Amino acid sequence: MRTDERFDGERDRLLAGFASQLSKSALAICDLVEAKRQQYNGTQGNCYILLQHCGSFNFFTTRRRAAYLTGLIRFLIPGKALFVEEEFRNEAAMMRFLRDNTAIPIPDLFAGGTVEENPTGLGPFLIMRWVEGVAMKELLGHKDESSADEDDEAIRRW
């Protein structure tokens, strides 16, 4: 993906602010996840932030109850999309459509919200079930660049 180099400084500033806000928000993230889970299925429990991951476009943190992972909450990294809320709304709608109308395995989507619905200050969010497995980037990262067949095989294994 090409980026506008004139925006690099602003993007770095946005990311630093996001990282600072994220480090202050662990308890608020758990409170948000637990409130949305209770709305979704009426259960309560203790939420613990277990892992944090940053990809090209999303930052997500996994949560744990008892001894197992139960879900993750995703935030779009600032500066990566022009219409952040629309991006998440469209993704949530596509996930629901694929889950309801195809045999493609899609994780349960528990909740999503806008900037205004997120008391953490981290922007719009999606909360979904954690699915154990191998990350697509790991499967595709071990391929011969000259072979599209390996891409197809990696996707089938995934």
> Domain segments of the chain: what residues?
5-133
Q: Which fold has domain 5-133?
A: Phosphorylase Kinase; domain 1 (3.30.200)
**Nearest alpha carbon to residue 57 among 80, 73, 86:** 80
pLDDT value at position 45?
64
Instruction: Note the pLDDT of residue 22.
Output: 77
Return the pLDDT at 101. Answer: 95
Mean pLDDT per 10-residue interval, the chain, length 158 residues: 64 79 78 76 64 63 58 78 82 92 88 85 84 74 55 49
Nearest to 66 by CA among 50, 43, 51, 46: 46
Tokens of residue 123, six digits: 């922007």
Structure confidence at residue 53 (pLDDT): 64
pLDDT of residue 125: 87
At residue 97, the pLDDT reads 95
At 31 the pLDDT is 80
Bridge partner residues of 62 (DSSP):
51, 72
pLDDT value, residue 93: 92
